[in-house]
Copies of this chain bind each other. A is one copy, B any other.
Amino acid sequence: MPFPQTEIPGRLQSQLSERGVRMTAQRRAILSVIETAKKHLDASSILRKAQKMDATVDRSTVYRTLELLKRHGAIDELDLMHMEGERHFYERKTGRDHLHMACLRCGKITEFESELFEDLKKQLERDCRFHILVARLEVGGYCAACRK
């Protein structure tokens, strides 16, 4: 394994700086929140956490920064089956795509990497001649603990 699974702190920030993205105190706070997140966060949670590091961070800056990160392919946007409201959730894009399973009973989100998912994407690229930039697979149902 050439790289550790754990994220090097500040990695996201330097990755963007190298891309010529201007760095501000507000962006640093937002990036740090996303990088150190233990679970999927929505815009409001990101705002709340970012404001603890820099009280001046505004909601619109969060949205504008999320947009920027999506454009640069640095984060993925999820819906998590719209289990509660219509908000979106965000996560740092890592090397390999994974799918999300959302338990409609207990609300638990489970991530899963699968070679079949990779094969399926390859099939689309090949058979449909579709150039994939983002792939989002979300599944809703009952997790192992909640099913009868």
* Chain A residues close to B by CB (< 8 Å): 77, 79, 81-82, 86, 88, 99, 101, 103-104, 110, 112, 114, 116-117, 119-121, 123-124, 128-144, 147
* Chain B residues within 8 Å of A124, by CB: 99, 101, 112, 114, 139
Is A101's CB under 8 angstroms from B130's CB?
yes
Min C-beta distance of A147 to chain B, whole Å:
5
Is B136's CB under 8 angstroms from A138's CB?
yes
* Chain B residues within 8 Å of A137, by CB: 120, 135-138
A–B Cβ pairs within 8 angstroms, 9 of them: A86-B86, A99-B124, A104-B133, A112-B124, A130-B147, A131-B147, A132-B141, A136-B136, A136-B137
Is A116's CB under 8 angstroms from B110's CB?
no
Is B123's CB under 8 angstroms from A143's CB?
no
Is A130's CB under 8 angstroms from B134's CB?
no
Q: In the bound complex, what is the Cα–Cα distance between A136 and B139 (angstroms)?
A: 6
Closest 3 CB pairs of A and B: A129-B144, A133-B141, A131-B142
Please give me the residue from chain B that is nearest to A81 by CB atom.
Answer: B134
